[in-house]
Every structure is written in C-alpha cells, then in structure tokens.
Amino acid sequence: MAKNKAITLLSLGHACVDVYQGAVAALVPYFVSERAYTYAAASGIVLAASLLSSVAQPLFGWMTDRRAAPWLLPVSTVVAGLGIALSGLGGSYALTLLFVGIGGVGVAAYHPESARVARIASKGSHRAMGWFSLGGNLGFAFAPVLVAVVVGFGGLRLTPLLVFPALAGSLLTLPVLRGLERVTAAPATTTTPPAPDDTVSFVKLTLAVVCRSIVFVGLSTFIAFYVRERTGQGPAAGTAALVVLYLGGAVGTVLGGHLAERWDRVTVVRGSYLLTVAAVAGVVLTPGPALYAFVALTSAGLYIPFSLQVTLAQDYLPSRVGTASGVTLGLTVSVGGLFSPVIGRLADATSLQTALLPLIAMPFLSWLLFLTLPEPAAPSTPRRAAEDERPGSVVVTTEAPTTPASDVRRPWRPRRRSR
C-alpha cells in the first residue's frame, strides 16, 4: 500500500479513536446538569478514563515490542467506542466510571501499535507523523460537536449512538491490515542494529510530557465551565471554547511537523512551550471574548510538540519503539486526568480561576526539561531482512523504510519442532 494512502487511513482511524478521549470531557457538563455532580465528582469521571489508559498504554507498548499486533487497531477502536457509548446508561456513578474506564482501555490499546505502524508507514517523515497525529486532534475537536448533537438533543440516554465513529474507524483500518498481509518474502539482506537506548533523555522527555498533559487535560475538563463563568454566556459558549481548544491543536500538530523539517525537533518544542506559558496565563487571567484567542494559542502551543515528542521518544528508545510510543502517547492525553480531581477539589473550595492558576507553571517546567535534552542523531535507512517481510509482518510498502530495523516486529507464530 502506498505511503500516503496508508497514512491517510491511519489518520482517519486515529480520529475515530480520539473522538472518545474528547467525548469524556465533553460529557462532563451533561453529567453535572442531569445528575448534579460536583466538580470533584465530575473530574472523577475523567480520572477513570485517564487512570486506566495511562497505566495500560505502556503495557500495550511493551507487548507490541515483543509481538506485532496489528489486529489491535480495529478491536481497540470498537472497545473504546462501546465503553463511552454505554457510559450514559443508568444512574449509577460506579457503572459510569466502569464504562468510561473500559473506553480508556480501548484507547490505550490503540495508540502504541498505531504509532509504530505509522512510524514505518511514514518512513521517518516528521510531516507524515504530523498528519497521523492530526487525525487524533481532529477527533478531539469533533467530540464536543458530536456530544452536543447527540446528548444535547436527547440527554444521556442517547449515548449509545456515539458508537458509530468506532464502527467506521475499525473498518478504515482493514485496508491497511490487508496491505500488511499482502507483503511477501524478499531477498535476505543485512539489517543495521539499532542505536543504544538513551534512557536518561527518555525519562526527562516523559516528565515534560506529564507537565504538558496536566495543562491540556485540566483545561479540557474545566474550560467549558470557566468560559461560561468569565463571559456570562450559556452552554454554547463553553462548547465553543472546547472546540477551539481542540481545533487549535490540529493546527499546532501540522505546524510542528513542518517546523521540524526546518529546525530540529528539540528547538521547536522549546519555543512552543515558552509560547504556551504566556498563552495559559492569558486564558486564566483575561476576561471577556478575548479569552478565545488565548485558548487557541494555548492549544497550538501544546500541540506543536505532540508528534515531535512521540518520534523523539522512539529515537531515545530505538529498541523499544512500542513502549516509547505507549508512554508518550499515553501520558500526553491521560496522566493529566490523575490531577483533575485535585483541580476539581480546589475549585470547590476556592474558585475555578484559582484552581487553574497552577497550570501556568506546567509548560515552563516542560521548557526547563527540554533545555537539557539533545536532538537524537538521524536513524539509518537499512533494508528489512527477509524474515521480517513474511505475510502478517508490520510492513506498509515494499520500499525500504527510514526507521530502524528494530521497529519491525514479527507477529506470533507457533514454533515448529525440528526433526
């Protein structure tokens, strides 16, 4: 399958999965209005999805480092959709947490394997990885609109209709999987061993991603409430702010890939985090409609590093690409949810503006961490060994990828006894 077609399908599938990450925050106001949840209880719903996703994603990454599992793409998409679709049924808080948690596990299972396949399909192109990440950002951006149309029209009882993007996304992955299976054995060639892992840099990168995640998930959870307070407008104003937050991320992701083609990734990420410090301060401190402009700047500043951090992590851990993808993609969108209840409790005790003030410091900490990070050397361009081009291997085209040979894992097969 051609590179552009594979990346396009993967990007669309990514959008269908990340709809369910954005849907959790978009559903929170409806849980508050229909079930009278407090800020702390509402943020607990975000925590349920984030906790399971942040823990499970590195585990799925470790698993796919050992055995290729492309079947996870359609299966995990359906699981994510079913969890969120069932979250609005029944009035039990515990049942709601359970279904949202199942949706989080589905999201967790999808990202490490999809990022690894996208890395191979992109042939190491930052722009192509940016387009893959763009799909997830668009899914985030579309989530509030989808929830507003479905749940805003008929209440939480209509959440089962939210399963349809998952069904579409799972179908979109099937041509990619068929393309993988059509690859046949090629003449044996020598592969280049991967570069040594830079664990220290990877840990620093992970901490920077955690700080970024706290800002993004915190704003995703409470920006709808906050904008309504600051502007004096109704629910539509809050939904509009959430859409701006997610659409700005889509612009930032594509921009990050283009900037990284001109400057190195570390330099681009440093600059984006400095921009984000000022932008988050504007969100928290600026009243009136100007708030929307700072929301857009914050979103762009947070998402310029998005795909760049994933490829940096993969280059810092070239022998464990799935684990690197699982940690960075998982933490990028989930671990911030662990801090949402803290923000919610502080908002209940003081005010929402006071609770959001600490978010200004988070991108500054990310910037400080990136000051200590090196730009990894460009990976070599080895050809794949014949044993990695058997049917079922994770290969997208018959051309040589620009990713290390360690990125291509053989799927599980029963061993044959030698006679």
In tens, the pLDDT along 160-194 reads 999 999 999 889 888 877 766 654 334 444 445 56
Residue among 21, 28, 134 nearest 80 (CA) = 21
Cβ-based neighbours of 334, under 8 Å, separated by 6 or more: 21, 49, 50, 51, 53, 54, 57, 104, 107, 108, 213, 217
Whether 225 is covered by a domain: the verdict is: yes
- Which pLDDT score, from 0 to 100, does residue 361 have? 92
pTM, rounded to two decimals: 0.67
Residue 190 lies in a domain: yes
Per-residue confidence (pLDDT) for residue 407, from 0 to 100: 45
DSSP characters over 329-363: HHHHHTGGGGGHHHHHHHHHHS-HHHHHGGGGHHH
Burial class (CB in 10 A: 0-12, 13-18, 19+), 274: middle
Residue pair 73/113 in contact by the 8 Å Cβ criterion: yes
> What CA–CA distance (Å, rounded) separates 350 from 344?
10
The reported pLDDT for the residue numbered 319 is 81
Say if CB 52 and CB 108 are below 8 A apart. Answer: yes
CATH code (residue 47):
1.20.1250.20
Q: What is the pLDDT of residue 164?
A: 93
Whether 411 is covered by a domain: the verdict is no
Q: Is residue 405 part of a domain?
A: no
Can you state the percent helix, strand and coil of the chain, rounding each to 5?
A: 75, 0, 25
Q: Do 52 and 333 form a contact (C-beta atoms < 8 A)? A: no
Block means of pLDDT (10 residues each) for the chain, length 419 residues?
Answer: 75 87 82 78 77 74 76 89 87 84 86 77 69 79 84 84 91 78 45 71 90 86 82 77 80 81 88 92 85 89 86 85 75 68 84 88 93 76 38 39 43 45
In a domain, 106, yes or no: yes
What is the pLDDT at residue 271?
92
With respect to residue 243, please indicate whether it lies within any of the assigned structural domains: yes
Q: Give SS3 for 411.
A: strand
> DSSP 3-state assignment of 181?
helix
Contacts by 95-98, CB closer than 8 A, 24 or more apart: 96/31, 96/45, 96/48, 97/44, 97/45, 97/48, 98/48
pLDDT confidence of residue 204:
92
Provide the pLDDT for residue 410: 46
Q: Which domain holds residue 302?
A: 3-370
pLDDT of residue 403: 41
Number of domains the chain contains: 1
Consecutive H or E run containing 271:
helix 265-285
| Alpha carbons 324 and 65: distance in angstroms, whole number | 10
Classify residue 199: in a domain, yes or no: yes
Instruction: Classify residue 218: in a domain, yes or no.
Output: yes
